[in-house]
Amino acid sequence: MTDASHDRLLIIDFGSQVTQLIARRLRELSVYCEIHPFQAVTEDFLKRFAPKAVIFSGGPASVVHADAPRPPASVFEMGVPILGICYGQQVMMDMLGGTVEGGKISGGGGTAEFGRAYVEPAGPLPLLEGWFGDGREQVWMSHGDHVSELAPGFEVFGTSPNAPYAITADTDRNFYAVQFHPEVHHTPKGPKLYENFVRLAGFTGDWTMGAYRDEAIRKIQEQVGDKKVICGLSGGVDSSVAAVLIHEAIGDQLTCVFVDHGLLRQGEADEVVSMFRDNYNIPLIHADESELFLGELEGQDDPETKRKTIGRLFIDVFQKYANQIDGAEFLAQGTLYPDVIESVSFSGGPSVTIKSHHNVGGLPEKMGLKLVEPLRELFKDEVRALGRELGLPQSFIGRHPFPGPGLAIRCPGKITRDKLDILRAADAVYIDQIRKHGLYDEIWQAFAAILPVRTVGVMGDGRTYDYACALRAVTSVDGMTADYYPFSHEFLAETATRIINEVPGINRVTYDITSKPPGTIEWE
């Protein structure tokens, strides 16, 4: 739990797949919120957290079952506004004296409802200001059970054909309960509902990047004192923002280690080194270990072996350089909020699983280092905003993601230095084309892969026998699912011509139109 210098909203997670989206919508409103699984929210916890408002998420359970997850009853005595969503609505009604009927899924006779629905107004409510427009409003339903009798004090403010209690409220107590999911995109006016809720709760929108930056700097100074910190730089956005922030907090007590495994893109190592050394004057060890990595990768063509080899060597190399920094006690990591949210598990075992992300896997324990993770509370786009706040150039902040194993996983089959050189050149032309056509920011990730086949071609009057390359460009939100980017034929033709003319070693260009799933973004 963080300090209480800004207003805080508590989201109690009952296991919905989309709980994180609630947090996103609130952060967009400059409201600070934290997600905690229902198991962790005890009466004591509520007192310590002291939320200004509470949201109950949806979830897969059914309140008609005796062991259904519930918040502590004291949450209703705190005098703060509460919004219950889907399961959150049902648990609220059940605990406050209403009735919930089981649907098909939980063994009852009622109907379940999944998908688009339309809600009509049933009375004026401040929560719904600017919501209905001229008539009905589209919402997204996803529920098995439904409320059949409201708890005392509640009234209906919106109905849909299958959900007569779609929007309900006890306006005296500021308790609101909706059957649909305002956090998903299929509820187009969902953000307005959250905006009204936090306004009614008295939030002032004090969660700004400027405030976050000052607070984060103060916390790093408190945590680290006069000790030294090591930060592994990959050239990616997260580790770069973490490094610049920590450097602002503790200056020369920070040393960055940039492991160059020889699998970076054209000009990338120079860019990273000059940006940190020249622009920020941050002490930086440039560990050029390409001979080691490429030597060990020689002859290997199995994707998993490649990844494991790179991971193992990375840890060894990082440790070797980190050991040269006398008296370092902390390791900085660019861990983000989605990596640390405790997820709810209903299926046996320890009920709470904590996902943790180790960019330099296992190193902190191995080296006896404590962690500094100044981005733990941020989502990816907030990290970008913080980077802008810290003055990092947009060209750096807006960069497409680049995988840890680098070009190794874009070179299916055996990796050779020749193939890597060809790949770098082709990738550079491709990215240049994308930038020239103003498409870079529309695309989530784009790169070239060199294929382990050579094909026959004809250039001038001569026969060629060179490699084929594949171009990849995808749109995505989080990399979990992706679609190929619909380039125009003109763009593809111009790019293929440029690559074949400008890159010796390639005589054929293909465009990968596989989505994820069933494909993955990278080729290995």
Query: What are the residue numbers of the active site?
Result: 86, 181, 183
CA 420 to CA 264: how far, in whole Å? 9
- Residue 469 CB, shortest distance to ligand XMP, in Å, is 17
User: Among 404, 420, 506, 507, which residue sits at the site for ligand XMP (rule: CB under 6 A)?
Assistant: 404
- Residue 409 CB, shortest distance to ligand XMP, in Å, is 6
CA 100 to CA 391: how far, in whole Å? 53
Mark residue 281 as left, alpha or beta (left: phi above 0; alpha: psi -120 to 50; beta: remaining).
Answer: left
Residues 207/27, Cβ–Cβ less than 8 Å: yes
Contact window for ligand XMP (CB under 6 A) among 198-206, 315-323, 389-397, 516-524: 516-524
Residues 455-484 as x/- pattern, contact with ligand XMP by CB under 6 A: ------------------------x-----
Nearer to ligand XMP, 399 or 516 (CB): 516
| Length of the chain in terms of residues written | 524
Three-state secondary structure call for residue 72:
coil
Residue 339 in the binding site for ligand XMP (CB under 6 A): no
Residue 90 in the binding site for ligand XMP (CB under 6 A): no
- Residue 139 CB, shortest distance to ligand XMP, in Å, is 31
Tell me the HSE value of 456 on the side-chain side, using a 13 A CA sphere: 2
- Residue 404 CB, shortest distance to ligand XMP, in Å, is 3
Nearer to ligand XMP, 163 or 474 (CB): 474
CA 244 to CA 254: how far, in whole Å? 10
Total site size for ligand XMP, rule CB under 6 A: 10
Three-state secondary structure call for residue 365:
helix
Residue at 52: amino acid letter: K
Residue 111 in the binding site for ligand XMP (CB under 6 A): no
Q: What distances in angstroms separate CA 162 from CA 63, 116, 120, one per listed residue? A: 19, 11, 12
Residue 521 in the binding site for ligand XMP (CB under 6 A): yes
CA 103 to CA 110: how far, in whole Å? 4
Nearer to ligand XMP, 259 or 521 (CB): 521
Residues 133/194, Cβ–Cβ less than 8 Å: no
CA 10 to CA 25: how far, in whole Å? 13
Residues paired with residue 140 on neighbouring β-strands, in sequence order: 116
User: Among 13, 145, 289, 522, which residue sits at the site for ligand XMP (rule: CB under 6 A)?
Assistant: 522
- Residue 403 CB, shortest distance to ligand XMP, in Å, is 3
Nearer to ligand XMP, 263 or 500 (CB): 263
User: Among 405, 415, 450, 491, which residue sits at the site for ligand XMP (rule: CB under 6 A)?
Assistant: 405
Residue 403 in the binding site for ligand XMP (CB under 6 A): yes
Contact window for ligand XMP (CB under 6 A) among 42-50, 113-121, 400-408, 416-424: 400-408
- Residue 310 CB, shortest distance to ligand XMP, in Å, is 8
Residue at 412: amino acid letter: P
Q: Which residues contact 251 (CB under 8 A, 6 or more apart)?
A: none
Q: Which residues contact 163 (CB under 8 A, 6 or more apart)?
A: 113, 117, 119, 141, 143, 146, 179, 180
Nearer to ligand XMP, 16 or 445 (CB): 445
Nearer to ligand XMP, 205 or 479 (CB): 479
Nearer to ligand XMP, 143 or 306 (CB): 306
Q: What distances in angstroms separate CA 1 from CA 41, 51, 468, one per listed residue? A: 12, 12, 52
CA 377 to CA 336: how far, in whole Å? 6
User: Among 89, 90, 445, 495, which residue sits at the site for ligand XMP (rule: CB under 6 A)?
Assistant: 445
- Tell me which residues touch ligand XMP (CB under 6 A): 401, 403-405, 445, 479, 516, 520-522
